[in-house]
Amino acid sequence: MIKLLKFIAHNMTYALFITHKIDINITTNTILT
């Protein structure tokens, strides 16, 4: 049960990190172009 919760928490953190990174990339591209 705890392993499952840790796994879900890790995936959510990873997903947030990915979307945040994409947001930064989009912002940078918008500023550059």
Domain ranges of the chain: 1-25
How far, in Å, are 4, 18, 30 from residue 12 at the CA level?
A: 12, 10, 27
pLDDT value for 5 = 92
pLDDT value for 20 = 85
Condensed to tens digits (0 to 9), the pLDDT of residues 6-33 reads 999 999 999 888 888 888 888 888 888 7
pLDDT value for 1 = 79
pLDDT value for 28 = 86
Apex 21 CA angle, 16 and 2, nearest 5: 25
Torsion angle of alpha carbons 23, 27, 30, 33, nearest 10°? Answer: -110
pLDDT value for 24 = 86
Confidence (pTM): 0.52
